Amino acid sequence: MRFSSPFTSLLVFVSIATASPALNGRGEGVIRFPLTRTKSADVDGHVDTTALYAQLVRVSNKYRHTFSAFEANTGSAHPLSGKMMSSMTEGGDGDVPLINQGTDLWYGEIDLGTPKQKFNVSIDSGSTDLFLPSVSCVDCTGHKMYNAVQSSTAKDKGIPNVLSYGQGQVGGDEFSDDVFLGGYEVAQYLFLTLKGLIFVAKALDQTFLAASWYSLDFAYPNFEPDGLAGFAFEKISALGAKSVFETISDSGVLPESVFSVKLSSTSGESELCIGTMNTNLYVEDTLTYTAVTEEGYWQVNLEAVSRNGATVASNNSSIIDTGTTFIVTSDVAAEAYYKDIPGSSNSTQGEITYYTIPCDTIGSYTPTFTFGGRGFNVSKETFNLGPASSGSSDCLGGIVGMSSIDFWVIGGVFLQNVYTVFDKGNLQVGFAELA
């Protein structure tokens, strides 16, 4: 079977500009950001697998890029990189131009420089580097551009660099400057008012790439935000730099070295917190932590994947990735998941295999993921991505196979069902049932 219809775009936007200090369930002063998920669909809501394929190619390219950075920074190959990196020499359909990248990205506003310059960036827990277009950027029409000359705190590090995401690339010079995210400032000296008190902490200037050129894949509207900000660890940075979140966290100014998210398709019910958790949004006694097994990504052990009580996978490495809509796994694991489901079918395009289940029964075959000894269910609403084509009675499942990986990428299909805590201080990830 081959899908030929337009995909239901999954557009997720983070509205950080409206963020303001607030009290969480513990009564601590924190910064909370309302998140808005905007879903644009075709008239009949069916799936556009051309856009779906583009999203998954971007996922593949992102991990190839960050695996290479990990090896450059540490001198050792990442334990999960073997199958993916060896596939780079095999050619095939995996390395194709990135198109419609913006369909599964989280966007947020950050401010850079003195005085502040405002930008939209994709916020991604599956990568680390920050890049923005500079005023000298070629092919950056439609993006806001960073002007270092207008910032009294800008520092040109004099290091040219290129960030590669498969065939998508951005190139320019490394800079550092003051960065503001939701009220927290990443600067030489950081001042933050919490509960009426002034806290002063030293923090390193944030390193980022001020791009002088974007490849077509990052030109607007193929890539909708101005730039990208990763929230993972320094070890997978191609710039050899800390992420914005690491820089803020290492300054010691946060109440806790965490960021946490609730994702929801219901308007007004999503938010991101930096520095703590909002205990009003989850059931406290269900919060379950699992250790980060390899610092670089937010990588944890996925203890089990089950369907209707039967285990179909166990003890697998997984990466918790807010920048990915889907749940992505190996061809073998995906095939095992959909095996013996009545009426299920699959279609392969390049390195990616999609699966469908009859729409009237797909809700009976949703997965349960076990982390830290507790199982968390995926709802039928998030697992069912929609009809495979206009008028089709078959619906696309939220788990897809990719021939170049042998781990799990845990994206929005799962994360919309839990409250997620990224705990840098204790190197762990927490999940809890939603309140």
First-to-last C-alpha distance (Å) of the chain: 40
pLDDT of 52 strictly over 90: no
SS3 373: coil
Q: Is residue 277 part of a domain?
A: no
What is the band of 59 on the pLDDT scale with cuts at 50, 70, 90?
confident
What is the band of 407 on the pLDDT scale with cuts at 50, 70, 90?
very high
What residue spans of 37-113 are helical by DSSP H?
49-74, 82-86
What is the band of 283 on the pLDDT scale with cuts at 50, 70, 90?
very high
Same domain for 416 and 291: yes
Which residue in the list 48, 104, 111, 124 is annotated as catalytic? 124
Q: Is residue 397 part of a domain?
A: yes
pLDDT of 298 strictly over 90: yes
CATH code at position 154: 2.40.70.10
Q: How many Å apart are CA 392 and CA 331, to the nearest integer?
A: 24
Q: Of 246, 270, 294, which marks where a domain is finished? A: 270
Which letter does DSSP use for residue 269 in this model? -
Which residue in the list 104, 177, 226, 321 is annotated as catalytic? 321
Which residues have a Cβ under 8 Å from the Cβ of 228 and sit 6 or more positions away? 121, 122, 124, 127, 129, 130, 131
To the query of whether residue 205 is one of the catalytic residues in this protein, the response is no
Other beta carbons within 10 Å of 86: 10
Same domain for 156 and 67: yes
CB-based contact 31:183 (threshold 8 Å): yes
Q: Of 229, 250, 270, which marks where a domain is finished? A: 270
Q: Is residue 354 part of a domain?
A: yes
pLDDT computed for residue 46 by the predictor: 72
pLDDT of 42 strictly over 60: no
Q: Which of 19-33, 104-118, 206-220, 236-250 has the lowest mean pLDDT?
A: 19-33
Same domain for 261 and 361: no
Same domain for 426 and 290: yes
Same domain for 186 and 129: yes
Q: How open is the CA angle 239-243-249, to the nearest 5 degrees?
A: 145
The enclosing H or E element of 180 equals strand 179-181
Which residues have a Cβ under 8 Å from the Cβ of 328 and sit 6 or more positions away? 56, 59, 399, 400, 401, 402, 405, 408, 409, 411
Same domain for 198 and 105: yes
Q: How many Å apart are CA 28 and CA 255, to the nearest integer?
A: 8
pLDDT of 17 strictly over 50: no
pLDDT computed for residue 14 by the predictor: 32
pLDDT of 29 strictly over 50: no
To the query of whether residue 321 is one of the catalytic residues in this protein, the response is yes
What is the band of 223 on the pLDDT scale with cuts at 50, 70, 90?
confident
Q: Is residue 67 part of a domain?
A: yes
Same domain for 252 and 138: yes
Q: Of 270, 294, 312, which marks where a domain is finished? A: 270
Q: How many Å apart are CA 151 and CA 132, to the nearest integer?
A: 15
CB-based contact 6:29 (threshold 8 Å): no
% pLDDT > 70, the chain: 78
pLDDT of 236 strictly over 70: yes
Same domain for 134 and 255: yes
pLDDT computed for residue 175 by the predictor: 96
Phi and psi for 65 in degrees, rounded to 5?
-65, -50
Q: Is residue 4 part of a domain?
A: no
Same domain for 286 and 239: no
Structural domain boundaries, residue 57: 9-270
Mean pLDDT of the chain: 81
CB-based contact 388:5 (threshold 8 Å): yes
Phi and psi for 33 in degrees, rounded to 5?
-120, 120
Read off the pLDDT of residues 348-372 as tens digits, 9 standing for 90 and up: 998 999 999 999 999 999 999 999 9
